[in-house]
Amino acid sequence: MINKLDMMSDIQEILLTEEQISARIKELGAQITEDYRGKELVLIGILKGVVPFYAAMAQAIDLQLQQDFMSVSSYGAGTVSSGKLIIRKDIDIDIEGKDVLILEDILDSGRTLRGVVQMFEARRPASVKICTLLDKPAGRVENVAAAYSGFVVPDAFVVGYGLDYAGYYRNLPFVGVLKPSVYQD
Ligand code: IMP
Ligand code: MG
């Protein structure tokens, strides 16, 4: 069993500190509070990577809102998108007529969010928008844009603050680049 300090030896570079992330979340929360005033906001988080971001965003938005989660995956255990969307858990809330804001950890190829947005749109919500903590434009395959984006990240595999490699590193408090030697043989 290794601890967080041991996990640090797999990190090449810290991209975003806990402080930077929390300051940006406050800004996003204030913006969303303005934009959704008077609307029926439903925050839908894409599990599992979104968990820390979701918790902080829900606190940063000063509005009455509903919360739900969905579990989908376009990745196996690797670091390259397979392009296959698997729905493991759907939301419980009826979103018809409501303003849906999808929260995601990272927008990479856009395949996951394109699939999720299409699925939600069929349920006739008033609106569907995306709020992503990280945006990796270099990976984009689908024409998907986030209405709210925390940070643009370079074309590297990042972990921490919810983001994983093979299920690990999610509980690091920062976002860092994973050393390629960790996933290359
Ligand atoms: P997309 O469908 O290619 O946009 O991929 C989105 C999902 O892929 C995210 O929810 C993450 O789970 C995963 N992902 C993409 N890039 C990274 C990364 O750099 N680190 C960790 N997970 C990533
Ligand atoms: Mg993942």
What DSSP line would sit under 63-128, residue for residue? S--EEEEEEEES--SSSS-----EEEE---S--TTSEEEEEEEEESSSHHHHHHHHHHHTT--SEE
- Cα angle: 155, vertex 78, 171; to 5 degrees: 80
- Identify the pLDDT of residue 67: 98
**Nearest Cα residue to 133 out of 158, 114, 96, 111:** 158
Q: Is the CB of 105 under 6 A from ligand 1?
A: yes
Is the pLDDT at 41 greater than 90? The verdict is yes
Among the atoms of ligand 1, which is closest to the Cα of residue 112?
A: 2
Mutate to test the pocket of ligand 1, among 15, 75, 155 (most ligand atoms within 8 A of CB): 75
Amino acid at 10: D
Q: Is the CB of 102 under 6 A from ligand 1?
A: no
Among the atoms of ligand 1, which is closest to the Cα of residue 141?
A: 3
Mode of pairing for the β-strands spanning 86-89 and 99-107: unpaired
- For residue range 94-147, list pLDDT tens digits in order: 999 999 999 999 999 998 999 999 999 999 999 999 999 999 999 999 999 999
Report the chain's mean pLDDT, rounded to a whole number. Answer: 94
Could you tell me the distance, in angstroms and rounded to a whole number, from the CA of residue 165 to the centre of ligand 2? 7
Q: Is the CB of 157 under 6 A from ligand 1?
A: yes
Is the pLDDT at 79 greater than 80? The verdict is no
Pairwise CA distance, residues 155 & 142, whole Å: 16
Is the pLDDT at 10 greater than 60? The verdict is yes
Is the pLDDT at 160 greater than 90? The verdict is yes
- The CATH classification number of 4-183 equals 3.40.50.2020
Closest residue by CA, ligand 1 atom 9? 106
- For residue range 61-77, list pLDDT tens digits in order: 999 999 999 999 765 55
Domain locations in the chain as residue ranges? 4-183
Measured from the alpha carbon of residue 70, the closest ligand is: 1
Could you tell me the distance, in angstroms and rounded to a whole number, from the CA of residue 38 to the centre of ligand 1? 33
Q: Which residues pair with 73 in a beta bridge?
A: 86
- For residue range 16-40, list pLDDT tens digits in order: 999 999 999 999 999 999 999 999 9
Per the CB < 8 A criterion, the answer to whether 10 and 178 are in contact is yes
- Identify the pLDDT of residue 81: 55
Pairwise CA distance, residues 154 & 134, whole Å: 10
So which residues are the catalytic ones? 108
Pairwise CA distance, residues 139 & 160, whole Å: 19
* Percent of the chain surpassing pLDDT 70: 94
Position 57 confidence tier, pLDDT thresholds 50, 70, 90: very high
